Amino acid sequence: MTVANKLAPAKRLRRMHDQLGAAYGPQYWWPAKTPFEVILGAYLTQNTAWKAVERSLANLRAAGALSLEGLRKLPVEELQRLIQPSGFFTRKASALKAFVAMLDEEFGGSLDALAAAPTASLRKRLLDLPGVGPETADAILLYALGHAVPVADEYLRRIAERHKLLDPSDGRIRYDALADLTRRAFAADPPASHAPLFNEFHALTVAVGKAHCGRAPRCEGCPLVLDLHHVRNAR
């Protein structure tokens, strides 16, 4: 597999970004008011509909626990009850407590101090936390801490699969392959624009994903329809 062969899918993905932007417009992501709310949402939305996450966030807001201080003094049992609507609540409650404990013990309870750490080591530290995998870590890095990292998700995986953006012969479609593909898609853009592009791209991925990229694809009216011949050829 030559480098030239791997370039085309990245360019196609870059064009898909423009198509999605034209169709959906600016997304203004992440849907949250503070970095800490982003982090809460990133945990809560794991394999969970955002609608359910909103109910949990509303519960937390009513309990005054949308802030770091608020969550810190909340007993884990109470936290479980408040986030119950978004599912997996025992895991997510203890995972959120572990995040706060890490922040307090290693960064003086400061998100700014956390954000100041180098991207690579910070990502590793996040991945070491319970309940934090690559997508959650990258969502926190990009949307809460302002680091220029791509975020891959199940929708992007399906897009890559259905549009044949990744060659099965050079590896299965796993998270890092999707992230690398996204990085290559925007590699020719000015470095300073990478963070906002990654931001917008993932938001657009979710927008199109919710509408068209379910387990059963609903390609009718999909903005990526211009690329659909790749899918048709494959079927």
Partner DNA sequence: CGCCAGGCCGTGT
Partner DNA sequence: ACACGGCATGGC
Q: Which is nearer to DNA, 155 or 201 (CB)?
A: 155
97-116 positions binding DNA, by CB under 7 A:
none
The correct pick among 1, 22, 188, 216 for binding DNA (CB under 7 A) is: 216
Residues 147-186 that bind DNA (CB under 7 A): 153-155, 171-172, 174-175
Window 39-68: residues binding DNA (CB under 7 A)? 41-42, 45-52, 55
Q: Is 132 in the site for DNA (CB under 7 A)?
A: yes
Q: Which two tokens stand for residue 182?
A: 């996204």
Residue 178: Cβ within 10 Å count: 24
Q: Exactly one of 60, 82, 206, 224 binds DNA (CB under 7 A); which one? A: 206
Min separation Cβ 209 and DNA, Å: 6
Helix ranges (DSSP H) in 108-146 = 111-115, 119-128, 134-139
For residue 33, CA distances in Å to 1, 57, 61, 67, 85 come to 44, 12, 12, 11, 21
Shortest Cβ distance from residue 47 to DNA (Å)? 4
Q: Is residue 29 a contact point for DNA (CB under 7 A)?
A: yes
For 34-91, the three-class secondary structure string (H helix, E strand, C coil) is CHHHHHHHHHHCCCCCHHHHHHHHHHHHHCCCCCHHHHHCCCHHHHHHHCHHHCCHHH
Figure out which of the listed residues 135, 148, 162, 200 binds DNA, where binding follows CB under 7 A: 135
Single residue of 25, 108, 130, 146 touching DNA by CB under 7 A: 130
Separation between Cα atoms, residue 53 and residue 85, nearest integer Å: 7
Q: Does 82 bind DNA (CB under 7 A)?
A: no
How many angstroms separate the CA atoms of 118 and 135, rounded?
18
Give CA–CA dist 88/128, Å, rounded: 19
Q: How far is the CB of 31 from DNA (least distance, A)?
A: 5
Residues in touch with DNA (CB under 7 A): 29-31, 41-42, 45-52, 55, 84-91, 129-137, 139, 143, 153-155, 171-172, 174-175, 206, 209-210, 214-216
